[in-house]
Amino acid sequence: MTIDPRTLSPREVYKLLVSAVVPRPIALVTSMNERGDVNAAPYSFFNVLTGTPPLLMISVGRNNGEMKNTAANILRLKEFVIHLVDDALVDAMNIVSAVFPPGISKIERAGIALVPSSVVRTPRIGSAHVSCECILHRHIEIGADPSDLIIGEVVHFHIAERLSTDGTIDQTKFKPVARMGKNFYARINELFTVEQQSYGDE
């Protein structure tokens, strides 16, 4: 089968992409508005960009051209916190992904306990095993809709003690949850190693 994306609707292209590019890590992002209200929302268009400086990106789609709260909050306050979703955060992630009527707190409905961050003003989720305090590095409008590409610089890491081994995260203990296509998610429970071969200088 071959498919020309130009023959598909935007929705059809989206569904094809998100079912093909898997598994995707999930960033559960907290951000804060000018009144100090904290918002939480998950994003699987998310990844690491560079190590120096440590940069992470999320892509935040818009609703009928209107910027979502996450993007608007980040652009206003220039900071946010990314939490890596694992089993401990799945239920909360699912709740805050829903659309709530005005005046209903997603944070409260999801039973999320917030704790102060170390560097940024935006609180973080206390039950998260891995979280990254970020300041805004760059914002780019991207795509035809468009979406808001948010690039954040990590200014502080929070890692559960049981996961920390020799300056890295112990992959045998960290059980991240990944986004798949449709309503499918995956637990990354099975690991294997592949020794990298050396073929001389690149």
Q: Classify residue 54: in a domain, yes or no.
A: yes
Q: Say what percent of the chain tops pLDDT 90.
A: 82
Q: Report the CATH number that the domain containing residue 30 is assigned in CATH.
A: 2.30.110.10
Whether residue 15 is predicted with pLDDT greater than 70 in this model: the reply is yes
Token pair in block for residue 120: 């940024």
Domain-embedded: residue 137: yes
pLDDT category at 43 given cuts 50, 70, 90 is very high
Picking from 44-58, 129-143, 187-201, which range would have the lowest pLDDT averaged per residue? Answer: 187-201
Cα separations in angstroms, 172 against 142, 163, 169, 177: 36, 9, 9, 14
pLDDT at position 138 is 98
Domain, as residue range, for 26: 5-187
| SS3 assignment, position 34 | coil
| Structure tokens that stand for 123 in this block | 């609180």
Q: Quickly count: other Cβ atoms within 10 Å of residue 198's Cβ.
A: 6
Q: How many structural domains are present in the chain?
A: 1
Tell me whether residue 196 is in a domain: no
Would you say residue 32 has pLDDT above 90? Answer: yes
**Is 201 a domain residue?**
no
For the chain, the distance separating the N- and C-terminal CA atoms, rounded to the nearest angstrom, is 36
Q: Quick: pLDDT tens for 60-111.
A: 999 888 999 999 999 999 999 999 999 999 999 999 999 888 778 889 999 9
Using CA atoms, how far residue 87 sits from 43, 78, 93, 188, in Å, is 16, 29, 10, 10
Strands 27-32 and 38-43: antiparallel
- More confidently predicted of 188 and 79: 79
Q: Output the CA angle 188-193-194, nearest 5 degrees.
A: 130
What is the per-residue pLDDT for 123?
Answer: 98
Whether the predicted pLDDT of 201 surpasses 80? no
What mean pLDDT is predicted for residues 164-193? Answer: 91
199 occurs within a structural domain: no
The Cα 180–Cα 184 span in angstroms is 5
What is the pLDDT at residue 166? 87
Quickly state the pLDDT bin for 23 (edges 50, 70, 90): very high
pLDDT on residue 102: 78
**pTM (2 d.p.):** 0.93
Question: What's the mean pLDDT in 122-150?
Answer: 96
Is residue 172 situated within a structural domain? Answer: yes
Q: Does some domain include residue 93? A: yes
pLDDT higher than 80, residue 200:
no
pLDDT of residue 202: 61
Nearest one of 73, 71, 60 to 32, comparing CA atoms: 73
User: By CB neighbour count within 10 A (0-12 exposed, 13-18 middle, 19+ buried), where does 99 fall?
Assistant: exposed
Let me know if residue 100 belongs to a domain. Answer: yes
